[in-house]
Chains A and B, each alone.
Chain A
Amino acid sequence: MSDSTIKSIRDIPSHENIYPGTPACAGCGGLLSLRHCLKALGENIVIVNAAGCFTLLSVYPYTPFRSSWLYTAMACAPAGAQGIRDALDVLIKKGKLLPEEDLKVVVLTGDGVAYDIGLASTSGALYRNVDFYYICSDNEAYGNTGFQASGATPFASKTGTTPVGEMNPLGELFYKKDLFEIWRSHKPPYLATISPSHPVDLINKFEKAKHYKGPKLFINLSPCPPGWNTDPSHSAKLAKLAVDTGIWVLKEAVYGEIRHTVIPRKFKPVEVYLKEQGRFAHLFKPVRQEDALCQIQSFVDRYWKEIQN
């Protein structure tokens, strides 16, 4: 473990690399974590963005970042990272850029990109062992277009394209893709899940990741007040409930070797997490959909049982 590992929230660097006043929604769980990610990464970075909510952080002529930025398109931010990383390496090798002018290359996308349209370009970058960071802000739907289902949308979530009605009282019928496992199958040097409710865990994961050359990937569960239909002031609490119920698993994988970094002593029932959110309200009202709730609970139970074996 590195020397810079921190123990408490008081040890988080006070220096800010993203300033307030962004157009992000109130209570954006992605922004809460991004602030901490950037504290850990420092200011000498270039953010390579794909289409999503965070694209609107940098609107001409303003930027909330201390660092550089390139907006690419939806499917190809990791390819943009490849080009920048390679170009920086070439410039340094040919003596056209001082090594101290080097930048960390950081891909920043939402889940629609990471789980769906950008999966191939991420797989390519992982295969080629590009030295970059990837932060996926996973709010479990296409948020910037108004909350439609993505590969990250969990079972029974209501979204714009998985409405609840007489023919389908559940909403989303598919299970959330396991992006952690998809990415882990490439055996990247470092891979972790993070949460805005656990900034110490988050910072320490970035500190650990710094020691590896190659892809370093992070998936953040990003409570999304407009999409999840939740109180903006509850985002951190909701993120914590996701961890406490075991539905959002905080873990890391070094070259594919998994370690769970936060294991709740006593798991809360998933129901307490679900019933806070408008996107799951149909599971409770007008009638309680017991089967669906059991299915979600047993899915979580099965995960934790399997990892104990």
Chain B
Amino acid sequence: MHMDNKRKMLTGNAAAAWGARLAEVDYIPTYPITPQTEIIEKLVHWINNGEMDAKFVALESEHSMITAAGAANVTGVRVFTATSSQGLMYGFEMLYTVAGWRAPFVMVNVSRGLSAPITLEPDHNDILATRDTGFLQIHCETCQEILDSILIAYKLAEDERVLLPVIVNMDGFYLSFTREPVEIPDINEVRRFLPAYDSRHAFFRANQPLSQGVAVLGGSVYTYFKYQMHLASRNGLSVYKETAKEFGELFGRFYGVVEEFMMDNAEYVLIMTNSFSTIGKAAVKKARAKGLRIGLLRIRVIRPFPETDIQEVLRGKKAVAVLDQNISVGKGGILFSEIAGCMYNERERPSLLSFIGGLGGKNVSPQEFEFIFENLQKADKTGATSAPCLLYTREEWHGMENLKKIAGRNP
């Protein structure tokens, strides 16, 4: 493949590191975890070579890492950090805390299934567990999107109408370790888009003492601050659109809060997020070739939740399948509930089907997509929707039966 100077073959992790480098972050508190570690190794390598002017520190846990990130950010510097899965859970308490501090930094999460059983490959239980914390969330499908989303995320977070942290999410292995051609924007253009951070709402300095993160007593004070966060996050929708538009005009790459794929004249819709959307798009393309009028809707910004944009896309459709790469044990798909919630008051609501797939990186085969599409058509005819459908192929079932035999489980 021909590539000019600006284009490089980068893994998702390297693209994330480039995002932080181009954002000229001041401070990078870290803790290693697979599959995120390549990001922080790359950053400290650049710092040690003098290619990046930032302070790097290795903390003793993600809990401390997120604390240091928030504390440095509310002292007045631009901060980047990254984690994954168990690490995100270990630091969970501090996600709420730093969002409450209104610390507008950016964190990359490299999605990975949660223990137990302990595993390495991706699903979205980790990232979706953080949906109520106050962090805004951008979910990426490609390596280019990771780099670009980090730059957009800083501008979004630091906007005074928002002032909340942002998580940029990518799938472990499928994106973190996949090399794709990535265009690395020119630093001067990035500086035009994203000026240096000037923290006016949070700082520590001698001549202006400030109490931050103080306790409150009583529900009305607590509620006031929580509502403020919610409204700021909701502001994030229009600020995101402004910011992404500006980014697109400067760099030629446009990113909506949602992405519509082959949605022209679509009667059926498959909803997905993150890197598995690529195989979803391939399946949609194949079904289109066979004459099925189907499109794919990829949700990119999950917090703030883009209800209106989703409603507009789904309005008048016959049936919609939400493929959740997560499982709320005892309920089903997390995004299904959110999509259903935003469609309930629509007058022309499509049938809504829930599928669970891709847990712990499990493949979603072309046959499984075909199965989803058949069900969409059936649902349209019968109007019947069902409980969440747990995707699992016959081959996978037989494979598992074999493993159980080896593990000593009698049939």
CA A264 – CA B27 in complex, angstroms?
49
- Point out the residues of chain A lying under 8 angstroms from B93, CB to CB: 73
Stretch from A81-89, A213-221, A292-300 forming part of the interface with B: A81-89
Are the CB atoms of B216 and A59 closer together than 8 Å? yes
Determine the chain B residues whose CB is within 8 A of the CB of A102 once the complex forms: 206
| Contact A68/B97 with A86-B72, A87-B71 known, Cβ cut-off 8 Å | no
Q: Which of B55, B60, B221 contacts A86 (CB 8 A)?
A: B55
The answer to whether A83 and B29 touch (CB under 8 A), given A63-B214, A68-B209, A89-B55, is: yes
Most buried by A among B71, B73, B210, B213: B71
A288 within 8 A of B: no
* Bound-state Cα–Cα, A130 to B53, Å: 20
Q: Nearest chain-A residue to B210 (Cβ)?
A: A68
Among A93-101, A176-184, A227-235, A265-273, which stretch is in contact with chain B? A93-101
In the complex, B329 has a CB within 8 A of chain A: no
> In whole angstroms, what is the CA distance A100 to B29 when docked?
26
A82 close to B75 (CB less than 8 A): no
For the complex, give the distance between the alpha carbons of A65 and B214 in Å: 12
Known: A69-B214, A100-B206, A101-B207. Is A82-B27 also a contact (CB below 8 A)? no
* A59 and B210 contacting across the interface, CB-CB below 8 Å: no
- Inter-chain contact A71/B214, CB cutoff 8 Å: yes
Do B75 and A71 touch across chains, with their CB atoms under 8 A apart?
no
Segment at the interface with B among A118-126, A155-163, A194-202, A274-282: A118-126
Q: Mark B54-81, 1 if CB is under 8 A from A, else 0.
A: 0101011101110111111111110000
Whether the pair B76, A87 counts as a contact (CB closer than 8 A) is: yes
Quick check: B206 and A70 within 8 Å, CB to CB? no
Give Cα A103 to B210, complex, Å: 12
> A103 touching B213 by the CB < 8 A rule?
no
Q: Least Cβ distance of A308 to chain B in Å?
A: 37
How many interface residues does chain B have, given as a range? 35 or more
Are A86 and B214 neighbours in the complex by a CB distance under 8 Å? no
Q: Which of A60, A72, A87, A120 has the most CB of B within 10 A?
A: A87
A83 to chain B: which residues have CB within 8 Å?
A: 27, 29, 67-73, 75
Q: Please measure, in the bound complex, the distance between the C-alpha atom of A101 and the C-alpha atom of B217, giving whole angstroms.
A: 32
B20 smallest CB distance to A (angstroms): 15
Asked if B215 is at the interface of the complex by the 8 Å CB criterion, the answer is yes
A108 within 8 A of B: no
Interface centre among B61, B63, B209 (most CB of A within 10 A): B209
Bound complex: CA of A76 vs CA of B65, how far in Å? 9
Whether B76 contacts A67 by the Cβ 8 Å rule is no
Instruction: Give bound CA distance, A79 to B62, whole Å.
Output: 10
* The residue from A56, A69, A86 contacting B211, defined by CB atoms under 8 A apart: A69
With A58-B214, A69-B211, A91-B75 as contacts: A82 and B206 at CB distance below 8 Å? no
Contact call B26/A60, Cβ cutoff below 8 A: no
Question: Hey, which chain A residues are within 8 Å of B27, CB to CB?
Answer: 83, 86-87, 90
Set of chain B residues within 8 Å of A89, measured between Cβ atoms: 55
User: What B residues does A68 contact at CB under 8 A?
Assistant: 204, 209-212
User: Inside 8 A of B29's CB, which chain A residues have their CB?
Assistant: 82-83, 86
| Closest B residue by C-beta to A127 | B60
The CA-CA distance from A43 to B207 in the complex, in Å, is 10
With A83-B75, A84-B71 known to touch, is A124 a contact of B59 (CB < 8 Å)?
Answer: yes
Taking a contact as CB atoms closer than 8 A, the residue among B77, B207, B217 that contacts A91 in the complex is B77
Q: In whole angstroms, what is the CA distance A68 to B208 when docked?
A: 8
Distance between Cα atoms of A100 and B206 in the complex (Å): 8
Considering the complex, which residues of chain A in the window 44-81 have a beta carbon less than 8 Å from any beta carbon of chain B?
44, 46, 48, 55-56, 58-60, 63, 65-73, 75-76, 78-81
Is B205 located at the chain interface by the 8 A CB criterion?
yes
B168 located at the interface, meaning its Cβ lies under 8 Å from any Cβ of chain A in the complex: no
Are A120 and B60 in touch, CB under 8 angstroms?
A: yes
Q: For the complex, give the distance between the alpha carbons of A63 and B211 in Å.
A: 8
Residues of B within 8 A of A97 (CB): 76, 205
| Chain A hits for B70, CB < 8 A | 80, 83
Contacts of B221 in A (CB 8 A): 60
B347-366 interface with A by 8 A CB criterion: none
Chain B residue contacts of A44, Cβ below 8 A? 206
- Least Cβ–Cβ distance between B242 and chain A, in angstroms: 27
CB atoms of B67 and A72 under 8 A apart = yes
Q: Which of B57, B64, B72, B75 is A121 in contact with, Cβ under 8 Å?
A: B64
Q: Is A128 an interface residue (CB 8 A)?
A: yes
Contact with A along B190-216 (1 / 0, CB 8 A): 000000000000001111011111111
Q: Which of A81, A83, A94 has the most CB of B within 10 A?
A: A83
Quick check: A66 and B216 within 8 Å, CB to CB? no
Contacts of A128 in B (CB 8 A): 57
A-B contact list, 26 entries, CB within 8 Å: A44-B206, A46-B204, A60-B215, A60-B221, A63-B211, A65-B209, A68-B204, A68-B210, A68-B212, A70-B213, A78-B64, A79-B71, A80-B68, A83-B29, A83-B70, A86-B57, A87-B27, A88-B204, A91-B76, A94-B26, A94-B53, A103-B205, A103-B206, A120-B64, A121-B60, A124-B60
Q: Which 10 A-B pairs have the closest CB atoms?
A: A83-B71, A79-B64, A124-B60, A87-B75, A83-B68, A83-B72, A87-B72, A79-B67, A76-B67, A71-B213
Beyond A46-B204, A68-B209, A90-B26: 10 further Cβ-contacts under 8 Å? Answer: A65-B209, A71-B213, A72-B213, A73-B97, A79-B59, A80-B71, A83-B27, A87-B73, A101-B206, A120-B64
Which B residues are within 8 Å of any A CB, using their own CB?
A: 26-27, 29, 53, 55, 57, 59-61, 63-65, 67-77, 93-94, 97, 101, 204-207, 209-217, 221
**A interface residues, Cβ below 8 angstroms from B:** 43-44, 46, 48, 55-56, 58-60, 63, 65-73, 75-76, 78-84, 86-91, 94, 96-97, 100-103, 120-121, 123-124, 127-128
